[in-house]
Structure 1
Amino acid sequence: MITGFAIHGCGREALDLFSAMEKSGLKPNVITFTGVLTACSYSGLVDEGKFVFEKMKRVYSIAPTIVVDLLG
């Protein structure tokens, strides 16, 4: 669902779903983060994307393995 929101430019909805996922105790994986970061990129949510990117590394210890054009 997060990726679906991302490709349709619904960044806020993707972030809300990501937040609900975290609150429910589900651990996001690299695919989840790819979707969330893509959603932020497509929706112009640069600050939110930077926050999620840092959380990916700091909280979940997931090393970035792909490039998402967040700043472009």
Structure 2
Amino acid sequence: MTPERFSECLLHIRWTPINLASALQCDLSWVEALEAGNAEVPAGLAAWLETLAQCHEGAGVPTTYRGRGHE
């Protein structure tokens, strides 16, 4: 997985590197290295992120609730 696709996957999932580090319970510095291309994204992590990103891309975000407040 390229650093560009890594970042793109996080955008589709709506995660920051901090969110991913929290989910994986790993060091933020490692996630930042993956994002910068200074470390290789492990195949298993790449596959997982691709699966999540494709799910989010396909599902989209519902627009029905925009502007809605607590009534």
TM-score w.r.t. structure 2 length? 0.29
Higher gyration radius (CA): 2
Which one has more relative contact order, counting CA pairs under 8 Å at least 6 apart? Answer: 2
